[in-house]
Structure 1
Amino acid sequence: MFTECLSKEWLSSIYAFFEPFPTIGHENKHRYHEFKCLAKGCGKRIRRYLDKKDAKSTSNMCKHACTCWGDETVKAADDAKSSDIAREAIVNRILKNGSITASFKRKGKGKITYSHRQHTKTETKAEIVRWVCESARPFDIVKDRGFQSLMKTGRPEYYLPSHQPFHRMSS
């Protein structure tokens, strides 16, 4: 019965980014549903109080999902027919390999596009390791002034890892 209620009420694709069954709780005599984010390392919980006018609103969940997963991932999930399809086709694949691009195969010789979303620290490390390995570059290239200038121009706050973690990998 509980799962039937969930499947009828919670059809929005935004639910794909949160654990499928919320925690039900009470605070100061107010009942709420608490949804836990599925993103690795996040675990943030979004509460929806059931006695409020916006009890069925997903706007806070959308804001959080865009912050945690990126706008284009949320948009891709929104194009899915249901939260179950979005969770299976997009969210679970990203959780497995950490990239939205792995969720979509390039069709034909279409134009390669790049995300407008800045990489996380983990994604930055992974992309640099991949580039270094595929291009047979030395790991300490991250110390190179020219490389740092290219990476940080227009975004001086952009995170660049030190070469030490990469140096340990090659030892």
Structure 2
Amino acid sequence: MSTLNHLIDEIKERWTSIMYAFFDPNPTLEEENGRKYVEFKCLGKNCRQTKRRYLDTADSMSTGGLRKHVISCWGKEVLKRASTADDIEQARDKVIIPYRESGTLTTAFAWKGKGKPTYSTRQLTKIQTKTEIVRWICEDKRPMKMVKDRGFLCLMKSGRPDYYVPSPSTVSQDVKQVFIKTRSHIARMLQESESRISLQMDAWTSPNHKAYVGFVASFEDQGKKRVIVLDIVAVPKVC
């Protein structure tokens, strides 16, 4: 078994195709009647299929069979989006896993990939509108009351006066929901990490003379360094 494990590690080093991102990152190497084969398990939410690739054939590194399954299971649009990633890990983390778990605000964020952002020709659904507004408010640090601005509503509703725009209170609830879900996800990630976790802190004073302390966790995840901000705390004044 140790020999097989060593062999699969050597084989995986030669895998660069995005097709591998749609399958479990830890495939198994099996042997049947003296023939070795790699067994790939699809990451599709309701997919139970596995794909075998025998190592004693001329096309033992071909991804044609994997591609055919990806298109039938995930669709060409998801494959096209994943293909814009820099590598297998990025495609799996930014496109495939969020797509598989889509349906909630925290997993419906669309990843734009490399190059200029692209925009759909279809009108956003209600959940997509809420998602994009939460992302806009958080990424660009906008006040939630902006969704009631006359100019914003004019841009959103002109030509489609019935278009749904959430209220500031709804946006606030959605942001809190995303925060709670994200916090739980980060906590689970840190608890399940096999890497050592390095905790750092940094203190500074803002231009308005308020003091803050930030807490950051650094660790290794699937061979890559991750740095996550855990909290930023305002330091009370000492009289």
Indicate the TM-score class for this superposition, using the shorter chain for normalisation: 0.5 to 0.7
Task: Give 1:6 deviation, angstroms.
Answer: 5.2
Structure 2 runs not aligned, ≥5 long:
1-5, 113-117, 128-162, 164-239
Return the alpha-carbon distance in structure 1 between the equivalents of residues 11 and 93 of structure 2.
17
Partner residue, 1:157? none
Q: Name the structure 2 match of 1:96.
A: 101
Preserved CA contact (<8 Å) 1:18 1:35: yes
Distance 2:24 2:96 in 1: 11
Corresponding residue for 1:52? Answer: 57
Q: Which has the higher helix share?
A: 1
What does residue 27 of structure 1 align with?
A: 32
Q: After superposition, where does 1:1-171 map in structure 2 within 5 Å?
A: 5=10, 7-97=12-102, 102-104=109-111, 112-113=120-121
Cα pair distance change 1:82/1:27, threshold 3 Å: same
Secondary structure, counterpart of 2:69 in structure 1: helix
**Letter matched to residue 69 of structure 1:** W
Q: Which has the higher contact order (CA 8 A, sep 6+)?
A: 1
Q: Distance in 2 between matches of 1:11 and 1:48?
A: 16
Change (3 A) 1:16 1:111: closer
Q: Cα distance, 1:96 vs. partner?
A: 2.2
Figure out how many residues of one structure are paired with residues of the other and give that number. 119
Q: Which has the higher strand share?
A: 2
Of the two, which has the highest radius of gyration? Answer: 2
Q: How far apart are 1:8 and its partner, in Å?
A: 2.2
Report Cα offsets for 1:17-46 as digits up to 9, x if no partner: 000011111222211000000001102101
> Residues 69 and 22 of structure 1: is their aligned pair in 2 closer, same or farther, counting only changes over 3 Å?
same
